[in-house]
Amino acid sequence: MAPETPLSHHARQHGFWFDLFILAMLWGSLLVISPEALIFSRYSLSALVKLVALVGTLEALGFFAAHLFGAQRGLLLQGLLGGFLSSTMTYLRLAPLQVSVNLRARALLLSTLAMLTEALLIIATLAPARALVLPLSQMLLLGLIVAFFRQASQAQGDRTAATAELEIDIRDPIVWRRVLKLSLLIIAFIGGMRLISQRLPLPFELTTLVISLFESHAVLAALLADPQKEEFVPTIILIVLLGNALSKCVLTYWRSRDWRLTRAVGGALFASFLGATVSYLLLVRR
């Protein structure tokens, strides 16, 4: 289903270019903001600006994808490209949309596939080659599940297009009120995870799991780059993959309040994680 208002119409509106200008200014400001600059003597200014810019970019991706490829294909593309920016933000953004469960599940799982691709690159750079089998096995199974969902959708004649909510979403490139709301939500979530990891005397494995609930890429890169953790590489990777699966299930239900969507996404994530677990057991025994 193509948007009612063509992209050429938006290009003639001042608001269209204003939104893109503000987004470009946010990214450009990162070149001049010092990494040491803090807000309230605690929060990194560059990190906060980058967070808002990422959420705004995700909004813009959805706008252009829907206009260029139609609402359904655009949503899937937004899920995939959004996963490379931030799979967590993508889940928070797409889970509550009023579209079919099958379509949302595919978009969210494509986001996870993109995230796993980035994890694969990190592991390929910092870990032994044999560790690649962990994310690869999960990606393979997750890809098969996404293909199954697509076949099921076609078999059922599921051509459910985006509803009015999605149509409203693509009338403007970026809805800044929603960007700020989602950014504040993410900041609160990150702060809560960091507080738990810093204040509670947890073992290394549990601390890694808690942090990876949100910052999976960061904790993966930081721990794999530590020579002292070399012998724990397979365990670290598996814990991060588990944390990612757990957080995505929680975020899916929290934002959508839809048990059918949560079961579809959660079932796919943990079924694919099982493949990584089997690979882990074979890797460790070796």
pLDDT for 162: 45
**Of the ranges 123-137, 140-154, 171-185, which one carries the lowest mean pLDDT score?**
171-185
pLDDT: which is higher, 268 or 47? 268
CA atoms within 13 A on the CB side of 265: 33
Decide: pTM greater than 0.95.
no
Q: By the 8 A CB rule, do 251 and 91 touch?
A: yes
State how far the Cα of 240 lies from the Cα of 211, in Å rounded to an integer. 9
The burial class, CB within 10 Å (0-12 / 13-18 / 19+), for 27 is middle
Q: Give the chain's mean pLDDT.
A: 79
pLDDT: which is higher, 164 or 143? 143
What is the rounded average pLDDT of the residues 264-279? 91
